[in-house]
Amino acid sequence: MLEIRNIVKDYETGSETVHALKGVSIAFRESELVSILGQSGCGKTTLLNIIGGLDQYTSGDLIINGQSTKQYKSADWDIYRNHSVGFIFQATVTAGKAGAKNAALLAISILALSNVELALTLSGVSKAERRRRAKEALEKVGLGNQLNKRPNQMSGGQMQRVAIARALVNDPDILLADEPTGALDTETSVQVMEILHEIARDRLVIMVTHNPELAE
């Protein structure tokens, strides 16, 4: 369903060219959990951003369901990101609470249910349907009894589950996770990984990590 062929990504920094990716090729299946493992600065997140359509490759090709993206326009990438991909970012410390690196992803002052609903606001889904799907997504990650809590009333693990629910609510084919357990304790990390394993039963999950044990 997803394939990258000889992907190259270069960045120009003044008079210097940084070669972030040097001809990466890999094919992914429809339902699997894949770990991209490597040290900080090796290009893991760059690769994830290219797969998610957040960044554009310099050369090579990203094949989606058999279709090349070489001729994709901005509107094509928007459709891909909004309907085919869900993003989970690294948990970190924000405003004194273990929470999301992506402050824009989790609005600290609004309810968990509303946070998840926000992901559907650009999809043309009715308010009632948004509410139903948000509840379903939160129940799937074990937060069915936390719908009316705000993220700043939750633990770091619970906040990351809200982020996972938000990534799932559009029912994407691909879930991209960038160091999803990076700032969580061991027990909570295991719980988050169990959720990702379950999600990978019916969709592709690609996770970036620098932790060999987590990848294993």
| Whole-prediction pTM | 0.86
pLDDT digits (tens, 9 = 90+) for 26-79: 999 999 999 999 888 889 999 999 999 999 999 999 999 999 999 999 999 999
Region 111-117: what's the mean pLDDT? Answer: 90
Coil vs helix vs strand at 10: strand
pLDDT digits (tens, 9 = 90+) for 11-23: 998 889 999 999 9
- Percent of the chain at pLDDT > 90 equals 59
Helices 156-168 and 186-199 pack at an angle, to 10 degrees, of 10
Region 86-91: what's the mean pLDDT? Answer: 80
Q: In this structure, how many other beta carbons lie within 10 angstroms of the beta carbon of residue 205?
A: 24
The two three-digit tokens of residue 122, written as one number: 């650009």
Q: For 13-152, where are the alpha helices, taking DSSP H only?
A: 44-51, 74-83, 112-118, 127-140
| Residue type for position 193 | M
Is the per-residue pLDDT at 93 higher than 70?
no
Please name which of 191, 192, 162 lies closest in space to residue 102, comparing C-alpha atoms.
162
Cβ-based neighbours of 119, under 8 Å, separated by 6 or more? 166, 167, 169, 170
Residues 208 and 41: beta-carbon distance below 8 Å:
no
Please name which of 178, 117, 187 lies closest in space to residue 157, comparing C-alpha atoms.
187
